[in-house]
Structure 1
Amino acid sequence: MDIDRIATQSQPYLLSLFRFITGLLLFHYGVAKLFKFPPVEMFSEVTPLSLWGVAGMFEFVLGGLLMIGLFTRLAAFILSGEMAFAYFIEHLPHSFFPIVNDGALAIVLCFACLFFTAAGSGPISVDAMRR
């Protein structure tokens, strides 16, 4: 088998899968912050109009849009900015090093969303059906 050929053929579908999983992770954080499920101690005091609560609303709504692939580029662009903001406000003040300040996930999600801003949603998405 030619790995390059297989990789090239599967690339659009892996893009859709990567978009779905990224959206699911963000959606999951939104649910935990807003609806306290699953119960996570660090989100137990989050109120809807706090900074974390507003972030949870972004993650819940835009993560859901990212999962289904609707308005992917716009949703991903906003989420990329939100993750960058989260890193600089919450993680960077604790340490310069992401492994120390627990900011690695925020960085990865920021750049994953930035990638979807450029790459789009892939073939398995509402955006693709709308075209």
Structure 2
Amino acid sequence: MTGRLNSAQPYALGLFRIVVGLLFACHGAASLFGVLGGAMGTHGGTIPAGTWPGWYAAVIQLVGGALVLLGLGTRAAAFIASGSMAYAYFDVHQQAALWPIQNGGELSVLFCWSFLLLVFTGSGAFGVDGLLAKRSTQDSTQEKQPAAERAPVAA
């Protein structure tokens, strides 16, 4: 049973990455464009451009979430997203109380640790990172083959 679960790990990780990236991007879109319920605390509005730190956090959420969703530059995007959520927790939420359940910071903590996990695991299956790595491996393998053995390249 463990063998089957281990073989499914890249797919489970890929689905995890897709869901977390999508949810994070939705938060950014809501804050920047007023869609999906709008920015929290503004009753369906948007965060004014350039407002510190909310607008910058929303840009990180939208762009970082989209990159993680696609599995493109996953580790770097997840690192920045994780850091932004750590900042949100310690700067915004922890002032109210020590524990996330008391200060409303559960979502920030969950996103922070989810993205930190992706920093160390990578994108898993279904990501652009994996496709690019495969292509790079194929290209380097072809370069090492003698010219007569290489497959013809379509123009």
TM-score (normalizing by structure 1)? 0.93
How many Å separate the matches in 1 of 2:125 and 2:27?
Answer: 26
How many Å separate the matches in 2 of 1:35 and 1:6?
Answer: 43
Q: How far off its partner does 1:100 sit?
A: 1.2
Stretches (4+) displaced over 3 A: none
Query: Greater CA radius of gyration, 1 or 2?
Result: 2
How many Å separate the matches in 2 of 1:57 and 1:81?
Answer: 14
Q: How far off its partner does 1:45 sit?
A: 5.4
Q: How far off its partner does 1:5 sit?
A: 2.4
Residue aligning to 1:16: 14
Distance 1:45 1:64, change over 3 A: closer
How many Å separate the matches in 2 of 1:15 and 1:21?
Answer: 10
Q: Structure 2: where are the runs of 5+ without partners?
A: 134-155
Residue aligning to 1:42: 41
Between structures 1 and 2, the one with greater helix share: 1
TM-score (normalizing by structure 2)? 0.79
Q: How far off its partner does 1:123 sit?
A: 2.1
Distance 1:79 1:7, change over 3 A: same
Equivalenced residue count is: 129
Residue aligning to 2:71: 69
How many Å separate the matches in 1 of 2:91 and 2:47?
Answer: 16
